[in-house]
Amino acid sequence: MPVTKASPASKWFNWLWHLADSARWMDPLPSFHRRGIILAGALVLLAFLWPSPRQPEQTERPVNVERTTTDVPLQAELSGRVDNSQQPKGDAQGQWTNYQIANGQTLAQLFRDHNLPVNDVFAMARVEGNDKPLSNLQAGQAVRIRQNSHGVVTGLAVTTEQGEILFTRQPDGAFLQVH
């Protein structure tokens, strides 16, 4: 009978097949079970080493919702529900613009509609007091918003039955309510 040379791959598979016979800690198990354990271990190892599919690169950047007091709105021009009966008046802290609350509109929606930082509304709501002039706005109610030259909201005035209530920005960025 002629002797054939075994290829390196068949030698490797032969060594792998008989590897279970040399594992003495598996002596109580039959050889079939030993080979099954080694095969299962190799599959688990292969699963851990298999490369994961690449995640597609995000084309959109996440939007940072928090704004600081130094942020400037992207649009400088205000449009929408502006009451033009009174011309905006300026003072040392900025230019006043008049608005009128629409039916079902909240102050936060008014700020969103005019590209103003909504976080300023939440900061004012923290100091609005028990009478809640910002939370109880009615349709048609007048609101004046003061912005400085950088577009930062420096004040808000709400006209109520008790008179005008003014919210002014403090140097630390918080708001203060003044009757």
Q: Would you write out the chain's pLDDT as a tens digit for each of its 179 residues?
A: 566 677 888 887 777 777 777 777 777 888 788 788 888 888 998 888 888 777 666 555 554 445 445 555 444 444 445 444 444 455 566 788 898 888 888 888 888 888 888 888 888 888 887 888 888 888 888 889 998 888 888 898 888 887 888 888 888 888 888 87
Torsion of Cα atoms, 131 then 134 then 136 then 140, to 10°? 130
Indicate the domain borders of the chain: 8-49, 90-178
Assigned fold of 90-178: Nuclear Transport Factor 2; Chain: A, (3.10.450)
